[in-house]
Amino acid sequence: MHSKTIAELAAGLKKGDFSSEELTRSFLQRIQQFDPELNSFITVSEEHALTQAKAADAVIAKGNATALTGIPLAQKDIFCTNGIKTTCGSKMLDNFIAPYDSTVIRNFNQAGSVMMGKTNMDEFAMGSSNETSFYGGVKNPWDILTVPGGSSGGSAAAVAARLVPASTGTDTGGSIRQPAALCGITGLKPTYGRVSRYGMIAFASSLDQAGTFTQTAEDSALMLNVMAGFDEKDSTSVDKAVPDYTADLNKNLKGLKIGLPKEYFGEGLNADVAKVVEEAIAEYKKMGAEIIEISLPNSHLSVPAYYVIAPAECSSNLSRFDGVRFGYRCDDPKDLEDLYKRSRGEGFGDEVKRRIMIGAYALSAGYYDAYYLKAQKIRHLISDDFKQAFEKVDVIMGPTSPEVAFKAGEKSGDPVSMYLSDIYTIATNLAGLPGMSVPCGFSNNLPVGLQIIGNYFDESRLLNVAHQYQQTTDWHVRIPDAYK
């Protein structure tokens, strides 16, 4: 059962081939068997999952099931979950039991899905390798000596090893698409504002967006049907009608205009990765798509702009973790200043401290105009580049990551090298656009991801483009040998 997609499992549940409880127990057994090595989960909520599964079986028996009723899913440990520990991968929140559900969790509960647990992640979503978690690094199922990508590495690894059929993640600068590419699965980051951020612990509020990890684009559409929508509790949520994302999956791609940014195929891209991506684009040509070279002239500025804006917002968002109201508190503080200093000093890891300090500096008097304001102006230029490109093309394609999964520890001592892992993904977050990564081949026996970027709120087209590719290739059904 573990190799089936959400769509296949939903059909099996409807026909009575198996119950949600049987399905849930099967995946719990796989988590128990394989996760001690992978470390993809922080919390496994076995009792909670079985309770939800039994409730789902009752709904299915009455004939009231939705597409996700009874389907086991994992949630990134950044979404507040009522009564269950929500840590954000940090010592700071190691003792935090959320008193409410985030909107994303609430939507999945209402759809009748089964939450298997909370997945490991880079601390406060800051990282590209899932090595900054207080709970230890996650291993890539394709090669346990390599990283799964980050920050949503636990969610990606769990789906790649088929410990769950699907999971959620968040993407601030590539944190869904990059781990999806490194783990050989399908990852979707929707348009900023398409999915509510209420109850999603904030890293950089103008960039964070929740999304999905699945085996297929069809499963991504089923997940997004549940997640998307306006939420009055989230001031960044966009009040726009939500289509049925499965409706256009089977449209043919004849006449589709695909833009290839020349900046994404130059220096810094591994030659083997480039070859695999070019072969994937050739497949689209066979399906009747038109390939057009485009330019995103300011894309080279996306990494420096992002690493001013994101730390600035994180330094503001993380100021609430002070040892007073909730979360970690140091022992026997001498006074209030000592409480603040030691609680934050002991509760945060090195990467989080690094970004808080960069952000505080960029926002400080005398430097705000030189750094933060300038970065926001560059962000506007990057957004304009995309707007001009979408006047000529329907989607933009290129590599998701400049290389395949790298060895654990290889970049830990070199933050700049680590930051460059997201060089092809960051610009879409700065512009607020939707993006996907789909598996398109292998290099050195490790997966390669093809990135597809769409126009604002054009997720239906993205999913259609990805689905049609997956009808003619089988990269998305490959499972690492150890987990078959």
Least confident window among 196-200, 255-259, 418-422: 418-422
Give the per-residue pLDDT at 306.
96
% of the chain at pLDDT higher than 90: 95
Quick: pLDDT tens for 26-40: 999 999 999 999 999
Mean pLDDT of 332-352: 96
- Does the structure show a pLDDT above 90 at 412? no
C-alpha dihedral sign at 441, 448, 271, 465? positive
At residue 1 the predicted structure's pLDDT band, cuts being 50, 70 and 90, is confident
Report, as an integer, the average pLDDT of 273-282. 97
What is the DSSP pairing of strand 395-399 with strand 257-261?
A: parallel
How far does the chain reach from its first CA to its final CA, in angstroms? 11
Q: Is the pLDDT of residue 404 over 90?
A: yes
pLDDT, mean over the chain: 96
* Residue 417 scores a pLDDT above 90: no
Provide the edge-to-edge strand list for the sheet that holds 290-294.
41-44, 114-119, 72-76, 167-171, 209-214, 186-189, 435-443, 446-453, 395-399, 257-261, 290-294
For residue range 229-249, list pLDDT tens digits in order: 999 999 999 999 999 999 999
Q: Is the pLDDT of residue 415 over 90?
A: no
Q: Is the pLDDT of residue 98 over 90?
A: yes
Single out the catalytic residue among 151, 299, 443, 460: 151
CATH assignment of 6-256+392-483, among 3.40.50.1010, 3.30.1240.10, 2.30.40.10, 3.90.1300.10: 3.90.1300.10
Write out the H or E segment, with its range, that includes residue 428.
helix 426-431
What six digits make up the tokens of 332?
């026997």
Report, as an integer, the average pLDDT of 193-211. 97
Q: How does pLDDT run across 433-471, given as a tens digit for each residue?
A: 999 999 999 999 999 999 999 999 999 999 999 999 999
Helix then strand count (H, E) for the chain reads 15, 11
pLDDT per residue over 203-223, tens digit each? 999 999 999 999 999 999 999
Closest of 8, 454, 399 to residue 178, by C-alpha: 399
Q: What is the pLDDT of residue 365?
A: 85
Looking at residue 408, its amino acid is A
C-alpha–C-alpha distance, residues 380 and 323, integer Å: 37
pLDDT surpassing 90 at residue 100: yes
Residue 8 pLDDT: 97
Residue 107 clears pLDDT 90, i.e. is over it:
yes
Mean pLDDT of 97-110: 97
For residue 368, what are the contacts with CB-CB under 8 A and spacing of at least 6? 362
The pLDDT of residue 138: 98
Check pLDDT > 90 for residue 423. yes
The answer on pLDDT for 18 being more than 90 is yes
List the catalytic residue out of 45, 76, 90, 118.
76
Q: Does 420 have pLDDT greater than 90?
A: no
pLDDT per residue over 59-97, tens digit each? 999 999 999 999 999 999 999 999 999 999 999 999 999
pLDDT at 474: 96
Q: Note if 14 is an active site residue.
A: no
Q: What is the pLDDT of residue 414?
A: 86
Catalytic residue among 113, 152, 167, 175: 175
pLDDT for the residue 440: 98
Q: Where are the domains of the chain?
A: 6-256+392-483
pLDDT at 250 over 90: yes
pLDDT score at 372 = 93
Percent of the chain with pLDDT over 70: 100
